[in-house]
Amino acid sequence: MKLYTAVNQNMTMRQILKKKLSTFPIVWNTYQAVKVQFKRLWLLTYFLRDIINAYRNMYWPLHLKSNLQLTSELLFQFHKIEKGLVMPGPRRFFGQEPARAVINLLNTWDLKGLPLGDPVYLGALETLHAYKERLQSESLDKNDKVLSYVQSFLINHPTRTRLLATPHQLVSMNSDIANNPHHFDELVSIRRSVRSFTSMEVPREIIKHTVGLAQLSPSACNRQPCRVYLITDDIKKNALLALQNGNNGFGHSIPALAVITSDSAAFFDASERHEPYVDGGLFSMTLMYALSAQGLATCCLNWCVSPDKDVALRNILPLADSEVVIMLMAIGYPETDVLVPRSPRKSTDNVLVEVF
């Protein structure tokens, strides 16, 4: 009796209640079932943050204020013309609406005094020049729906940037690339997630070069929503890693941490709500391969966190409200003879579905 009281004194009310409930199987099972459902419902509140993000940041008609949104819409619009310029089949009139939109956006760019040497601005001008030339050379705009409008704009914007001339011939793989030891198949086969790094610093030039390569990844309408935050400062790195649950046992050995983000403001409305993640995944993969090709090792670190941790990350890094975190990435030189898990892949027969 004495022992029973002593145990009870150390138990919280909740524990006592649970203990009591567990003696009634029907009540106990109902309690467990309700608890599971509550947990499931509670986890759905995580979506609230996505909803708020989409509401705040993903609606161009109201939000075309930031430079990022201007850049994104400009890319989006002139990409429609770029695509029109390469379509197969007989040449047809196209691009009237996007051409007008591009001119409006370029005028806004001028008014805002944004840099005139920016590749997006220059690329848009090149596209308009190519469009004008196509309309003229093929006499596609017989009723002058847009040609003179484009012409008069270009008279005041005569800059040409041959390097950005569009369209251009697809470069085919030459034998040098095919014979390179880092041929793609090999690169893909040898990359593995590494969880043990030397303390050797990761050269900035390599990071810059590989981020440049990652920028060549495809993105929806070429809007390029990704950004890479590189953290090497120990205090910030440790604070970020403390928020993440997948680096136990090796976080301390990570010399450089990248936080890869994608900006939802680059997307026109909530119908595109998944695009930041799709583009972010493609970008991250290219970055990983580019780093592997330079002899560096990586390990993706999931950002599957509760909203409060996401807020905590934003207190450490200067993310825009519209940026979503795609993943964290450990980057460094692997320890000599480092071991990695085998991580077998499923049979390709379970992945490739040939539909006849």
The residue ranges that bind ligand FMN (CB under 6 A) are 192-193, 195, 246, 299-302, 327, 340, 343
- Distance between CA atoms of residues 187 and 289, nearest Å: 7
- Distance between CA atoms of residues 87 and 131, nearest Å: 13
Q: Determine contact, residues 98/77, Cβ cutoff 8 Å.
A: yes
Report in angstroms how near the CB of residue 279 gets to ligand FMN at its nearest. 14
Beta carbon nearer to ligand FMN, 129 or 195 = 195
Report in angstroms how near the CB of residue 344 gets to ligand FMN at its nearest. 10
Beta carbon nearer to ligand FMN, 70 or 258 = 258
Beta carbon nearer to ligand FMN, 101 or 288 = 288
Q: What is the DSSP string of 163-199?
A: GG-SS-PPPPPPHHHHHSTT-HHHHHHH--B---B-S
Q: Determine contact, residues 282/217, Cβ cutoff 8 Å.
A: yes
Q: Which amino acid is at 305?
A: V
Report in angstroms how near the CB of residue 348 gets to ligand FMN at its nearest. 15
Angle subtended by helix axes 96-112 and 119-137, to nearest 10: 150
Report in angstroms how near the CB of residue 302 gets to ligand FMN at its nearest. 4
Beta carbon nearer to ligand FMN, 103 or 290 = 290
Beta carbon nearer to ligand FMN, 85 or 340 = 340
CB neighbour class for 294 (10 Å; exposed up to 12, middle 13-18, buried from 19): middle
- Distance between CA atoms of residues 221 and 118, nearest Å: 18
- Distance between CA atoms of residues 132 and 151, nearest Å: 7
- Distance between CA atoms of residues 66 and 109, nearest Å: 11
Name residue, tokens 């704009």.
Answer: 153
Report in angstroms how near the CB of residue 328 gets to ligand FMN at its nearest. 8
| Consecutive H or E run containing 312 | helix 307-316
Beta carbon nearer to ligand FMN, 166 or 253 = 253
Q: Which of 171, 84, 75 is nearest to 119 (CA)?
A: 75
Report in angstroms how near the CB of residue 129 gets to ligand FMN at its nearest. 41
Query: Residue number with the shortest CB distance to ligand FMN?
Result: 246
Report in angstroms how near the CB of residue 139 gets to ligand FMN at its nearest. 52
Beta carbon nearer to ligand FMN, 246 or 253 = 246
Beta carbon nearer to ligand FMN, 113 or 249 = 249
E strands present in the chain: 226-231, 256-263, 297-301, 323-332
Report in angstroms how near the CB of residue 327 gets to ligand FMN at its nearest. 5
Q: Which of 319, 332, 316 is nearest to 276 (CA)?
A: 319
Beta carbon nearer to ligand FMN, 84 or 334 = 334
Report in angstroms how near the CB of residue 281 gets to ligand FMN at its nearest. 8
Q: Which of 321, 330, 282 is nearest to 303 (CA)?
A: 330
